[in-house]
A and B are shown apart, each in its own frame.
Chain A
Amino acid sequence: MKPLITLEHVTKVYPTGRGNVTAVNDVSLHIREGEIFGIIGYSGAGKSSLIRLLNGLEKPTSGQVLVAGKDIGKISGKELRQARQEIGMIFQHFNLLWSRTVRENIAFPLEIAGVPKKERLKRADELIQLVGLQGRENAYPSQLSGGQKQRVGIARALANNPKVLLCDEATSALDPQTTDSILELLVDINKRLGLTIVLITHEMHVIRKICDRVAVMENGKVVEEGEVLHVFQRPQQMITKRFVQQITEPEETKETIAHLLDQYPTGKVVQFAFAGSVTERPLIAELIRNFDVKINILQGKISQTHQGSYGVLFVHIDGSHEEVAKAIDYVRQQQVVVEVMTHESLIS
């Protein structure tokens, strides 16, 4: 599929009193039509600047930003304003106009686009249905909960039938339950309207739940990129591993494993990472049957991603050196990523 959004060697430098700050450093990305693309990074990684380059709120210092065939970095004035009407955006703090009701907020982008009043109200009511805010049309933002405000934000962003929806930390100000309902709404919109969604977040949970592909940002660079399931199973960079651990390992896991390493001087503590259909195979039973090893299950967790399930299992394998090595080799052949835990690997 041809990319809807293309970034080629994009760099964004902010001049400050004490020299230049490079927020985005030589980033190239290709985002396909209809996919949900996540960009994850800690604060200050440059993801806010990156998403603002996509609708021209920021201009690249060098490189090219193409969205739906338009060179966003180069165009300005009327052309840029028209291009922006095809790119919806939602925000962490919703950014609704408190002086307008729900319906008037949703109709605002239509006013900007010059849609006649009758049509505006009709379209606003359709969108209110779409995001499930029936009955709240005449409420003011101050009368809504955080989740409802974000629903207004989403409806407003969709008003002009955009090709792309940009989500700037859209769920970071919401509680976990509300976050899930907003994420479900985004997936629903993505499926129903075929809308391409680009989101930035610092929560791996968001990536796991809804993204097809993910890019990991650190210090202005994209350090890792790929299918979500693949990145979960085979994280390459230290930072990616840390993000994946947000999901797969509860806080106390490291301590537990360190304790087990001390407790079992023989044998090995290993981590199996599965993805897709392998998660459903009786792997442990096969190991016990085929090799002369004892297996003690320490901890396990299966998470659902947008593309399928992903599991992590910590086991202690005991037996002779050769048998343990053979057993681990066998597991490796089953498309399971194996990591032998040591005290060193826990430090990361």
Chain B
Amino acid sequence: MSHLFPNVQWETMWAATSETLYMTGVAVAVTFVLGLILGLLLFLTSKGNVWENKLANAVISAFVNIFRSIPFIILIILLIPFTKAIVGTILGANAALPALIIGAAPFYARMVEIALREIDKGVIEAAKAMGATTTTIIWKVLVPESLPALVSGITVTAIALVGYTAMAGVVGAGGLGNLAYLEGFQRNHNDVTLVATVLILVIVFIIQFIGDFVTSKIDKR
């Protein structure tokens, strides 16, 4: 092993891997919640739905579009003052979280909105005719009926987030991206870059596998 990858320090590599997993995990969890809320708001305030409101819809939509359009590497830089204010530092895994979440949640929100639009309007009408409250409609109709799409959406988002963590690593957030850049690229240790890349691929494949598995289990259509 040490012959094949002379420059790889496995302990550092595992530490970087767990940092990447930590950043991805926390970011996915928060993105799921925030994106779901934003997506629901986008859907519910749109035309013909229970909270139809042109102004609110336009405001949320603009917010989502702006943060979805900013290239991630620029978003990190723009958010430095914000990160400093809430995390206290701009280095380390935690410092990457605000940018990761703000970059990914709007992206996921659009996917949630699309998933909700796919629900048959008749089913929502039927729930209303039964005397359901809006809260009941959200939790017992909208979310369960769009769940496969919500899960496959968060899978795509999680994979994008793995890529984002690598980018965040370049500007000091830690993780495999950081290691590949500092140890691999700057010190010209190609074996480190290779191993970091393979580990990232493995993480992506595992996420995709879990996502596909869960989606097929819950889809009863």
Contact = CB atoms under 8 A, between A and B. Distances in A.
A61 interface: no
Interface string A85-110: 10101010101111110000000110
Interface in A42-100: 55, 57, 80-85, 87, 89, 91, 93, 95-100
A112 B125 contact: no
B86 interface: no
Contact of B220 (A82, A95, A98, A156): A98
A142 interface: yes
B9 to A, nearest CB: 49
Size category of the A interface is 20 to 34
Contact of A108 (B128, B140, B218): B140
Contacts of A100: 144
B129 A57 contact: yes
B126 A82 contact: no
A87, A97, A113 interface centre (most CB from chain B within 10 Å): A97
B130 A97 contact: no
Contacts, number: 66
Interface string A102-144: 0000001101110000000000000000000000000011100
Contact of B130 (A99, A109, A140, A141): A109
B122 A91 contact: yes
A142 B120 CA distance: 14
Nearest to B124: A95
B145 interface: yes
A131 to B, nearest CB: 17
Contact of B123 (A80, A82, A87, A95): A95
Contact of B128 (A57, A83, A97, A160): A57
A57 B132 contact: no
B129 A81 contact: no
A99 B126 contact: no
A80 B134 CA distance: 13
B144 A97 contact: yes
A313 B144 CA distance: 57
B130 A95 contact: no
Interface string B87-109: 00000000000000000000000
A318 B94 CA distance: 102
A255 B28 CA distance: 71
Given A99-B145, A142-B221, A112 B131 contact: yes
A112 B130 contact: yes
A112 B136 contact: yes
Nearest to B128: A57
A98 B131 contact: no
Contact of A112 (B122, B132, B218, B221): B132
Contacts of A83: 131
A80 B133 CA distance: 11
B91 to A, nearest CB: 45
Nearest to B146: A99
A95 B128 contact: no
B141 interface: yes
Interface in B121-164: 122-123, 125-133, 136, 140-141, 144-145, 147
Given A109-B130, A113-B131, A140 B220 contact: yes
A84 B221 contact: no
B152 to A, nearest CB: 15
Given A89-B130, A95-B126, 8 more contacts: A81-B132, A85-B130, A87-B129, A99-B218, A112-B127, A142-B221, A156-B130, A166-B129
Q: Across chains A and B, which 4 residue pairs bring their CB atoms closest together, nearest first? A: A84-B131, A81-B131, A95-B126, A95-B122
24 contacts: A81-B132, A81-B133, A82-B131, A83-B131, A84-B129, A85-B131, A87-B129, A91-B122, A91-B125, A95-B120, A96-B123, A96-B126, A97-B141, A97-B144, A98-B145, A98-B220, A99-B144, A99-B145, A99-B220, A100-B144, A109-B130, A111-B140, A156-B130, A166-B129
